[in-house]
Chains A and B, each alone.
Chain A
């Protein structure tokens, strides 16, 4: 589904990603871990099409298409969803307000009929339950004055509405208490299917107790320096990142 080859990206001339290779197949869950500043959010942003990042080398194929060629909105319509590490606050725009337009633009792109107001509302109600979301919150200014947990649940709610094939969750678990974590992970798990894939970017192994990964990758200094199964996450939890850094630094000398 997703194939990243030798991806290099920089911001304002500073290289951040220095050769990422990653293959994600339908039905799989990949976890990406790594110390702060190693490039995890950059990778997620490059996949979603954030303009500040310049791809200097490499390619990304999504369902056979050159992803890097597409505008951010077309990537979303193709089925890529990025749950932001820091969801943006937008005064004056409510979730319900923009999401109906978004959902219908996505549906149009996919050749589906638009949802009318009644149908939209009923789909919304159903997806709200998934993340135990309050409707009042959805008619308020987007993310403005939301708690950390509410912002993250709103991200997963939007994901549920947009029905992506590839979900990239950037530290969706950071700052969540156990209850919120359970709700968010539950939402993600219910949306999983044999046809979809998930990339979870996280700092903490505890998320992987809820969203069980098929593969775990460690990103360090803009490269994937180690890959393994979920046992790797446990090892990282126990030993920290220093040994990874040492290995990586030794290898690059």
Chain B
């Protein structure tokens, strides 16, 4: 029966798609989706995180949302205090260039619909994940951001997304980011829910990090209690390039992050840091994937989670080391603190190593708050809640250090501390 509903929703959705642009990508994606459908709980990749079931339960109108009203004030209120860099505004997937600020000469922003781009869909492939296919089949527009080679963008570029159910409840946002050779840039991202109504936001970000470039991408996920989101983030990292992702997940109904770093050549480095602080019934699933294809590349991964109430976390960290990728250094760690009996975490490292000369380490821990440490701090006069806050922040704090922009880091730290001060 579930299959019948699934087919109905999806086919009805696919039947309505406007194919006036990106038609060849859309057609291929549609065709594939009609074959595969959306993954249910029998699908190994989605067995803990049934986005489909969530959609069936919470989404009433499974069709694309129209852009909603958005003011300059909404934008200013949402940027971190003291932030002075450029920002790009996206409204239910639709780029709002007149609400954006683009002052640097060293990068170009264009609408994806403006000019054909061969790279689009070549990094985030529709075969890789059904939700990537779903976005590819139905997105209306998006942004292409291209950073000039040999240039350093001094101030971070803030990508500010606004989401709201409006007529339809499906929101497709799409970014294609190309970093030129030797370029250096930092992106920050935050998504704002404009109200509390449920929506399904399905994002695709494709990044090409050209040789010897340095890119940071820090993302805050603090959407409404009813937001269902899938975030497909696919990165091609070329020779000697460094790419660092930091994802902070604080709120939402069900959040699935598919983060892939493809280390395509020697000398490159991919880093993935994550923090999830979950309460209520929030469900956050981080599926990460790092693919070592050539010798002498390095990857580092550290995800930390604090879960309370009946929240649920999933961490699945894939490390793939191909036969060619000798002298690989790959490090992965996932640590969790569970504060309540009903909170759960499923954590799984998944290592596939085909080369023989590699350094690969991984580990995961799940524990409770250290009662001995709690007592020590209380015995020095700290209230129990405060002592808890100190210990939890001590556990989580290092992840925020990977956010290089002061104003954004402070915004995130304030949110985290507020959460940790109050029972998390």
Chain A positions within 8 Å of B, measured between CB atoms, are 48-51, 71-73, 75-77, 81-82, 84, 87-88, 90-93, 97-99, 101-103, 105-106, 109, 158, 162
9 example contacts (A-B, Cβ-Cβ < 8 A) are as follows A75-B379, A76-B380, A77-B381, A82-B379, A90-B377, A92-B397, A93-B390, A98-B377, A106-B381
B39 to chain A, nearest CB (A): 38
CB distance A102 to B380 under 8 Å? Answer: yes
Chain B residue contacts of A98, Cβ below 8 A: 377, 380, 382, 390
Chain B residue contacts of A97, Cβ below 8 A: 390
CB distance A71 to B384 under 8 Å? Answer: yes
- Chain B, 363-387, contact with A by CB distance < 8 Å: what is the 0/1 string? 0000000111101111111111011
Query: When chains A and B are docked, how far (Å) is the Cα of A91 from the Cα of B395?
Result: 8
Chain B residue contacts of A84, Cβ below 8 A: 376, 379
Interface size, chain B (Cβ < 8 Å)? 23
Nearest neighbor of A98 in chain B, beta-carbon distance: B390
A sample of 20 more A-B contacts (CB under 8 A), given A90-B394, A102-B382, is A49-B375, A51-B375, A71-B378, A72-B378, A73-B381, A82-B379, A84-B376, A87-B376, A88-B373, A88-B375, A91-B394, A92-B393, A93-B391, A98-B377, A101-B382, A101-B386, A102-B377, A102-B381, A103-B381, A162-B381
A86 to chain B, nearest CB (A): 9
Chain B residue contacts of A50, Cβ below 8 A: 375
Chain B positions within 8 Å of A, measured between CB atoms, are 370-373, 375-384, 386-387, 390-391, 393-395, 397-398
CB distance B379 to A72 under 8 Å? Answer: yes
Chain B residue contacts of A51, Cβ below 8 A: 371, 375
Chain B residue contacts of A109, Cβ below 8 A: 381
A114 to chain B, nearest CB (A): 13
Nearest neighbor of A82 in chain B, beta-carbon distance: B379
| Given known A-B contacts A90-B391, A93-B391, A105 and B386 have beta carbons under 8 A apart | yes
Query: Which among B381, B397, B398 is the interface contact of A105 at CB below 8 angstroms?
Result: B381
Chain B residue contacts of A81, Cβ below 8 A: 379
Chain A residue contacts of B386, Cβ below 8 A: 101, 105
- Most A C-beta atoms less than 10 A away, residue of B372, B380, B381, B382: B381
Nearest neighbor of A95 in chain B, beta-carbon distance: B380
Chain A residue contacts of B390, Cβ below 8 A: 93, 97-98, 101
CB distance B395 to A92 under 8 Å? Answer: yes
Chain A residue contacts of B377, Cβ below 8 A: 90, 93, 98, 102
CB distance A88 to B372 under 8 Å? Answer: yes
Chain B residue contacts of A158, Cβ below 8 A: 380
Give 4 nearest A-B pairs by CB, closest first: A92-B394, A76-B381, A72-B378, A106-B381
| Given known A-B contacts A71-B384, A90-B391, A105-B386, A76 and B376 have beta carbons under 8 A apart | no
A37 to chain B, nearest CB (A): 20
CB distance A73 to B384 under 8 Å? Answer: yes
Chain A residue contacts of B395, Cβ below 8 A: 92
Query: When chains A and B are docked, how far (Å) is the Cα of A185 from the Cα of B182?
Result: 60
A20 to chain B, nearest CB (A): 20
Chain A residue contacts of B391, Cβ below 8 A: 90, 93
Nearest neighbor of A164 in chain B, beta-carbon distance: B381
A134 to chain B, nearest CB (A): 20
